[in-house]
């Protein structure tokens, strides 16, 4: 399909300060996952597009890096104001292309704005250190300087928030940026780019390209791109890390997860169930912090009975409809993938307590699913499903729970539900996971802390946002001075 054959909106690239038409390109449809209606068409960038954009971004960098940091952040003060004014609109756009509820989308937009707020503090965050008379008459200081052109490759599940883990920090540090968001959700990053343009960012400092693997590979190999930030599945994260690093780039590649929620016998049933519901089925389970394995320690029947009742009552529907608690999955292809995992769970002997297949309807809907009697060797216990499927594994004590969690190839996040401080402290200390929650369903760090995944959930050294982001997007220079 070409641009002349459809009346639906055609998404544009944003390069060097202008919105760029792409005539004659094959356009790929974007459908509302709740209704199946096509709401936009998106062109895919070529290697030539990436090259042209990288050159423009590099030219802009030579000027932008000379702008004082106190002036650079003024753009983000204005941007924050615009994002807040348009937050509801952005949430509705996000819901329409991703499927999540408007309330869930609004929460992720709020998190995105928090990233911008922290980036506004860059004059303090970029400060170096100094020491007088490190030797007789010699002073020493460190300064942080920007890298150059940086690129971000982001997933479909948080099209407002995840890109802002990256570009506000990178740009406030003095770099320029190219964003390649998921081709499944181009509308949200397009709208947030429009607002960044309105905030007065100079041409070429921020650029937006859409596309698939050709664009990604071109970014990973381009000699003018100094750093790559990625969020997606672990196999692709590993590929991005290895490929970009082989081309001499700095890389942070955030991968997938298999997150465990440990419920102790003394856990508050009502509050724990509420948190578990949000963790397992919020955003339809399409997030790398979703709790997909419930580890029930000892006697757990009251908690499981209460959980099953809540799951069966969960209101499913169009994310834009009032009262909806869980929307559809992002595409029919992704729903088919999740259905495949449910079928594997049944085939491997797990017991279906709640079968989400019974609540499938038009669009890309799939109901929340709960398996009991899951063993650690089952596929649904080991692999990331990225959908509304919760597996229950029973263990005898905390030591067994910790051993189970530590045996996972992933280490993104985990939570423990307990009323006992000793159990909580021991779990947080011994578990081999980068982010730990205590009576918190989704242990998502605020913008001023790092997103600290471990094991196969992260490839690189410096994590996203917080002070790690400042270190990632800058190079530290040491200056020794003596005056005669």
How far apart are alpha carbons 366 and 55 in whole angstroms? 44
What are the residues whose beta carbons fall under 8 Å from the beta carbon of 51, sequence distance 6 or more?
218, 222
How far apart are alpha carbons 439 and 285 in whole angstroms? 19
Q: Which residue has the tokens 């729903």?
A: 335
Can 140 be counted among the known catalytic residues? Answer: no
What tokens were used for 296? 């029930």
List of E strands, 69-108: none
CB 470 within 8 A of CB 169: yes
Pairing of strands 369-372, 458-460: unpaired
The candidate with the shortest Cα–Cα distance to 447, out of 122, 36, 212, is: 122
DSSP label at 202? Answer: P
233 conformational bin, left if phi > 0, alpha if psi -120 to 50, beta if neither = beta
Of the residues 120, 173, 288, 364, only one is catalytic, namely 288
Give the count of beta carbons closer than 10 Å to the beta carbon of residue 382.
15
How far apart are alpha carbons 467 and 198 in whole angstroms? 28
How far apart are alpha carbons 228 and 205 in whole angstroms? 16
Give the count of beta carbons closer than 10 Å to the beta carbon of residue 135.
9
The candidate with the shortest Cα–Cα distance to 285, out of 272, 273, 298, 276, is: 276
Burial class of residue 131 in the structure, from the number of CB atoms within 10 Å of its CB (0-12 exposed, 13-18 middle, 19+ buried): exposed
Give the count of beta carbons closer than 10 Å to the beta carbon of residue 151.
33
How far apart are alpha carbons 304 and 42 in whole angstroms? 44
How far apart are alpha carbons 162 and 52 in whole angstroms? 25
What tokens were used for 442? 């989704």
How far apart are alpha carbons 421 and 431 in whole angstroms? 15
Q: Which residue has the tokens 């000699």?
A: 223
What are the beta bridge partners of residue 42?
Answer: 28
How far apart are alpha carbons 248 and 242 in whole angstroms? 10
The candidate with the shortest Cα–Cα distance to 279, out of 263, 299, 298, is: 263
Pairing of strands 225-231, 149-153: parallel
Active site residues: 288
């Amino acid at each position: 399909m070409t641009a002349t054959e459809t009346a639906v909106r055609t998404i544009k690239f944003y390069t060097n300060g202008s919105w760029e038409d792409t005539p004659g390109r094959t356009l790929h449809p974007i459908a509302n996952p709740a209704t199946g209606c096509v709401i936009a068409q998106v062109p895919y960038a070529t290697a030539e597009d990436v090259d042209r954009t990288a050159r423009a971004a590099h030219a802009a960098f030579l000027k932008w890096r000379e702008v004082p940091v106190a002036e650079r952040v003024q753009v983000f003060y204005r941007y924050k104001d615009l994002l807040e004014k348009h937050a509801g609109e952005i949430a509705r756009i996000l819901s329409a292309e991703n499927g999540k509820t408007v309330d869930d989308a609004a929460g992720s937009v709020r998190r995105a704005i928090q990233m911008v707020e922290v980036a506004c503090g860059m004059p303090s965050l970029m400060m170096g250190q100094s020491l007088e008379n490190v030797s007789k008459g010699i002073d020493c200081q460190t300064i942080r300087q920007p890298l150059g052109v940086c690129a971000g490759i982001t997933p479909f599940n948080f099209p407002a928030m995840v890109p802002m883990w990256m570009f506000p920090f990178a740009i406030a540090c003095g770099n320029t940026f190219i964003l390649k968001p998921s081709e499944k959700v181009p509308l949200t990053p397009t709208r947030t780019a429009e607002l960044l343009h309105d905030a007065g960012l100079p041409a070429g400092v921020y650029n937006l390209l859409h596309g698939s693997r050709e664009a990604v590979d071109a970014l990973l190999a381009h000699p003018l791109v100094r750093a790559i930030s990625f969020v997606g599945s672990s196999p692709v994260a590993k590929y991005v890390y290895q490929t970009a690093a082989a081309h001499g780039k700095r890389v942070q590649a955030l991968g997938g997860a298999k997150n465990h929620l440990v419920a102790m016998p003394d856990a508050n049933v009502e509050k724990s169930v509420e948190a578990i519901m949000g963790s397992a089925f919020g955003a339809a389970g399409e997030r790398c912090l979703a709790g997909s394995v419930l580890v029930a320690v000892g006697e757990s029947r009251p908690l499981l009975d209460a959980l099953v009742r809540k799951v069966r009552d969960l209101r499913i529907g169009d994310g834009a409809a009032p009262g909806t608690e869980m929307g559809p999955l992002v595409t029919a292809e992704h729903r088919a993938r999740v259905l495949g995992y449910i079928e594997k769970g049944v085939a491997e002997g797990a017991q279906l307590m709640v079968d989400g297949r019974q609540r499938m309807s038009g669009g890309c809907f799939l109901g929340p699913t709960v398996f009991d009697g899951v063993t650690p060797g089952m596929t649904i216990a080991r692999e990331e499903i990225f959908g509304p499927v919760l597996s229950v594994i029973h263990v005898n004590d905390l030591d067994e729970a910790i051993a189970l969690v530590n045996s996972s190839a992933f280490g993104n996040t985990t939570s423990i539900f307990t009323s006992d401080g000793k159990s909580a402290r021991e779990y947080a200390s011994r578990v081999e996971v980068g982010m730990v929650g205590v009576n918190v369903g989704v242990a998502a760090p605020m913008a001023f802390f790092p997103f600290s995944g471990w094991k196969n959930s992260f490839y690189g050294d410096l994590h996203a946002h917080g002070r790690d982001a400042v270190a990632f997007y800058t190079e530290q220079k040491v200056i020794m001075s003596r005056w005669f």
